Amino acid sequence: MKTLICTGPQKLAYKEGTMPKAKADFAIIKIHRIGVCGTDLHAFEGTQPFFTYPRILGHEISGELIDTGGNQNFEVGEPVTFIPYINCENCIACLSKKPNCCINIKVCGVHTDGGMAEFIQIPARLLVKGCGLSFDELALIEPLAIGAHSLRRAQIKPGEFVLVVGAGPIGLGIIELARIAGAQVIALDVNNNRLNFCSEKLNLRHIINANNENVADRLAEITAGDMPTLVIDATGNQKAINNSFYYMAHGGRYVLVGLQKGELIVSHPEFHKREGTLMSSRNATIEDFDHVINCMKKRLINPEYYITHRVFFDEVKTKFKSWLDPSSSVIKAMISIR
């Protein structure tokens, strides 16, 4: 089978891989769609902290099930996606029903080979049913579930002001799911194309360009001086992460979804006087996948909005680097296998 391997920073190569063989408890999926996410892009540019080379990228996957691996809830031939976080089931996190932050976790496309291939073999227990959704929709469930998990962690409340820092693919999912939850959402970014997307596609009223406006003053104006009670970072940018500590209301919560290699730097008195709550949000769980699926089935989310670029698998090597360029206006690149 054909695979696409990231052999080092800025390096991709097509290679022939070994077709997975049937074995108990492991399902085989014939891949139809592969979504490209920030993790893939950061791995390619050499800034993903958990990444080692060489590696087959890709964990936003949908396809046709060709071997159930003995999972009796599934049938050969049905459309599926899967949870791409392979957990050990035995550590303190797993036993506490937090498999998303398993001590021994292996994320497909990061710690172990992912889905930029014609077939993939995964633990059958991680399969997720298609539920009548298209292959495009199924490949978008995982990145949206990342946002759903962050909001569940934060215990989002209807009516509260929520600041989402970073309107990339993950941030846009957080914005949309926060809106569905009834929050008053504010998007902060430096990219006008992404902010326009928030305004035009997601009908977002409050958008702020950090390059053109005083962020603190604008937030005070929107919230009548109270500032957002929930701040979520989806940038993975050190400066943006550190600055956002100052945008949180007294008694507020700050959730880190974006990931960077450096340190968090904040004035302790500023954070302390707010009695702020700081938390991270990693990956997602089946509850988050189910929530996204339900939102899609109810047509509360239009997945087609997110797909701005489409390519075939054999075109990815030549197109991939261009998606790092902000001028490409990429929100979600979707790969199809012919």
Domain CATH number, residue 221 = 3.40.50.720
Asked, for residue 178, whether it belongs to a domain, the answer is yes
* CA-based torsion, 311, 313, 315, 320: positive or negative: positive
**pLDDT at 65 > cutoff 80:** yes
84 found inside a domain: yes
Strand pairing partners for 13? Answer: 5
Cα–Cα distance measured from residue 236 to residue 48, given in angstroms and rounded to the nearest whole number: 10
Give bridge partners of residue 63 from the DSSP assignment.
31, 80
Helix, strand, coil percentages, rounded to 5, for the chain: 35, 25, 40
pLDDT at 206: 97
pLDDT digits (tens, 9 = 90+) for 180-204: 999 999 999 999 999 999 999 999 9
In whole angstroms, what separates CA 101 from the centre of its chain?
A: 15
Range of the domain at 255: 146-280
Do 44 and 126 fall into the same domain?
A: yes
Q: pLDDT category, 259, cuts 50, 70, 90?
A: confident
pLDDT, residue 305, reads 86
pLDDT tens digits for range 122-142: 999 999 999 999 999 999 999
- The answer to whether the CB of 154 falls within 8 A of the CB of 234 is no
Q: Tell me: do 83 and 152 sit in the same domain.
A: no
- pLDDT band of residue 308 (cuts 50, 70, 90) is very high
pLDDT tens for each residue of 71-101? 999 999 999 999 999 999 999 999 999 999 9
Asked whether residue 163 falls in the same domain as residue 275, the answer is: yes
Question: Is there a domain that residue 301 lies in?
Answer: no
Residues 109 and 58: beta-carbon distance below 8 Å: yes
Please tell me the pTM assigned to this model: 0.94
Answer for the pair 109, 59: CB distance below 8 angstroms, yes or no.
Answer: yes
110 lies in the same domain as 16: yes
Give me the helix-helix angle, 192-200 and 169-180, nearest 10°: 30
Spell out a b/e string for 82-95, using b for 16 or more CB atoms within 10 Å of the CB, else e. bbbbbbeeebebbe
251 with 317, same domain: the answer is no
CATH number for the domain including 65? 3.90.180.10
Q: Which amino acid, 200? A: E
135 lies in a domain?
no
**Domain contains 139:** no
Tell me, yes or no, whether 122 and 8 share the same domain. yes
